[in-house]
Structure 1
Amino acid sequence: MFIPIQLDENSTEPLYAQIKSQLKTLILSGHIETGTLLPSIRELAGQLSCSVITIRRVYQDLEQEGLLRTKQGTGTFVAPVHQGERDQFRKRAVEEAIIAAIDAAKQMQIDEQELRDIFNEIVRLRMQND
C-alpha cells in the first residue's frame, strides 16, 4: 500500500516527526480507514528512504496513542477512531491554522478589521470555487 507522505529534507523538523504527524493526520482525517493494513516497517522505510528504526518508532508511538494495532505475524492495522476524536482533531487543525494566520497578520501590522476583511474575502472566493 502506498501512503502519501511527503518529506521535506530541508525542514528543521526531524523525519520521524514529519512521518508521524502526516500518518496521524491521514488516520484521524479518515483518509486511511479503520482496519487498513499498513505497509510493513521495511516496506514503508524503503518507500520513504529512511531507516527501519524511524518507522518502527512511528508505528510504536501511534500504537501507544491507540491509532494502530499490531498483530504478530499479520501486520499493523489502523485501530478504530471514535468520531469525537476525529471532530476534535479537525477542529484543532483549523484552530492552529487560524492562530498562525493571526500571528502572521500581527507581524505585518494588520489590524483586526483588516484581517477580518481579508478572511471574509478569502472564504467567499474559496467557497465559490467549490
Structure 2
Amino acid sequence: MVLPIEVDEDRQEPIYHQIEEQVKALIVSGYLPADTVLPSIRALASELGCSVITTRRAYQNLEQEGYIKTHRGKGTYVQEVEQEKRSQLKEKAVQDALRQAVKTARQHEYTDVEIEKLLKIVLKEER
C-alpha cells in the first residue's frame, strides 16, 4: 500500500512528526480504516526517501498514542479510533492549520479584517 504522504525537508517540523501528523489525519478522516495494513517501516522509508530511523520513530509514536498496532511477523495495522477522539482530532487539525495561516498572514502584516477577507475568498473558491 502506498500512503498519500509528502515530507518537506525545508519545513522546520521534523520529518518524523510530518509523517505522524499525516498518518493521524488519514486515520481520523477514515481514509485508513481500522485493521488496514500499513507499509513496513523500511518500505515507507524507501517510499518517502528518508531514513528507517525516522519512520521507526513515527510508527513508535503513533503506536504509543494508540493509532496503530504492530504484530511481530504479521505487520502494522490501524487501530480503531473512538468517534469522540476522531472529532476532537479533526477539529484540532483544522485549528492548527488555521493558526499557521494566521501566523503567516501576521508575518506579512495583514490586519484581522484583511485576514477574514482572504479566508472568505478561499472558502468561496473551495465550494
Q: Report 1:102-113 matches (<5 A).
A: 102-113=102-113
Q: CA deviation at 1:4?
A: 1.4
Give unmatched runs, 5+ long, in structure 1: none
Q: CA deviation at 1:97?
A: 2.6
Worse-superposed segment, 13-22 or 94-103: 94-103
Aligned residues: 127
CA deviations on 1:39-58 (whole Å, 9 max, x unpaired) are: 11221122122222222221
Larger Rg: 1
4+ long deviations beyond 6 Å: none
2:28 counterpart letter in structure 1: L
CA RMSD of aligned residues (A): 2.0
- The answer to whether the aligner puts 1:55 opposite 2:47 as a matched pair is no
Worse-superposed segment, 98-107 or 8-17: 98-107
Q: CA deviation at 1:29?
A: 1.8
* CA–CA distance in structure 1, aligned partners of residues 80 and 25 of structure 2: 14
Q: What is the identity percentage for the equivalent residue pairs of Structure 1 and Structure 2?
A: 43
Q: Report 1:35-114 matches (<5 A).
A: 35-114=35-114
Q: Aligned in 2, Cα 1:118/1:77: closer, same or farther, shift over 3 Å?
A: same
Q: Aligned in 2, Cα 1:115/1:84: closer, same or farther, shift over 3 Å?
A: same
* CA–CA distance in structure 2, aligned partners of residues 48 and 107 of structure 1: 31
Give unmatched runs, 5+ long, in structure 2: none
Q: Aligned in 2, Cα 1:103/1:41: closer, same or farther, shift over 3 Å?
A: closer
* CA–CA distance in structure 2, aligned partners of residues 8 and 30 of structure 1: 24
Q: CA deviation at 1:125?
A: 3.7
Could you tell me the TM-score, scaled by structure 2's length? 0.83
* CA–CA distance in structure 1, aligned partners of residues 51 and 104 of structure 2: 36
* CA–CA distance in structure 1, aligned partners of residues 72 and 120 of structure 2: 51
Q: Aligned in 2, Cα 1:14/1:110: closer, same or farther, shift over 3 Å?
A: closer
